[in-house]
A = this chain, B = another copy of it.
Amino acid sequence: MASLAEENYLKLIYHLSGSGADEVSTNALAEQTQTRAASVTDMLRKLAEKNLVHYKKYQGVRLTAEGQEVALQVIRRHRLWEVFMVQKLGFRWDEVHPIAEELEHIASEELINRLDAFLDFPVSDPHGDPIPTAAGKMPSAEYEKLCEVTAGKQVTMMGVSEHAASFLQFLSKAGLIPGSVVSVLEINDFDRSMLLKINESGPSFVSYEVARNILIKFSV
């Protein structure tokens, strides 16, 4: 039903709206799609005609229930393919995003549900992002940011909120991947950088900018 371009818009609106909560502006979409605002307007009118978004001129756009369903399907496919590539094909977590951007548009539900089973029904992708269920529900994964943890606490890394390959490569080098056990040894007041103990290795420094993009939960 939805074309490749339409699927990409719906997915993007979902992400930019904070999981469908807020309105998204034409300009924000133009920036992310690497197109012009006028092109976005054209597409929004088309999506509105298909009842995939609520759109009023000059007022921004929100997903309809139907649009959100499509968006979540696309996100589900994307994240399952990422798990496949990392767990089965041996890709690194910083390599899989662009390939998943293509694979996510293969529509067969049978394929995706069998892939899901083959992967043992993973609940999150290699970056810790939750995988929408076959029924179209996004599991709520509410984690803290590492930058908010106080000195002396021990936490488990659960994911990232920044997906740039360079950031992910940096984290891998530091041994900071989902599942890593992290103790906050010290926090520097002047720049909020942190000294961490990661698993059983020696101490590492991370900047506030890095800590802000690492999602954690407190260890039990």
Q: Mark A111-148, 1 if CB is under 8 A from B, else 0.
A: 10011001000000000000000000000000000000
Let me know if A18 is at the binding interface, CB within 8 A.
no
The reply to whether A89 and B115 contact each other, CB–CB distance below 8 Å, is yes
- Interface of A with B (CB < 8 Å)? 85, 88-91, 95, 98-99, 102-103, 106-108, 110-111, 114-115, 118
The minimal Cβ–Cβ distance linking A96 to chain B, given in whole angstroms, is: 9
Select which of B89, B102, B118 is within 8 A of A89 by beta carbon. B118
Question: 22 A-B residue contacts at CB 8 Å?
Answer: A85-B111, A85-B114, A88-B118, A89-B111, A89-B114, A89-B115, A89-B118, A90-B114, A91-B110, A91-B114, A95-B110, A98-B108, A99-B106, A99-B108, A99-B110, A99-B111, A102-B106, A102-B107, A102-B108, A103-B103, A103-B106, A106-B106
Q: How long is the Cα–Cα vector from A91 to B98 in the complex, in angstroms?
A: 27
Q: Nearest-CB distance from A139 to chain B (Å)? A: 23
Name which residue of chain B comes closest to A108, CB basis: B99
How far is it, in angstroms, between the C-alpha of A98 and the C-alpha of B110 when the chains are bound?
Answer: 12
Residue of B nearest to A96 (CB): B111
Nearest B residue (CB) for A111: B99
Contacts of A114 in B (CB 8 A): 85, 89-91
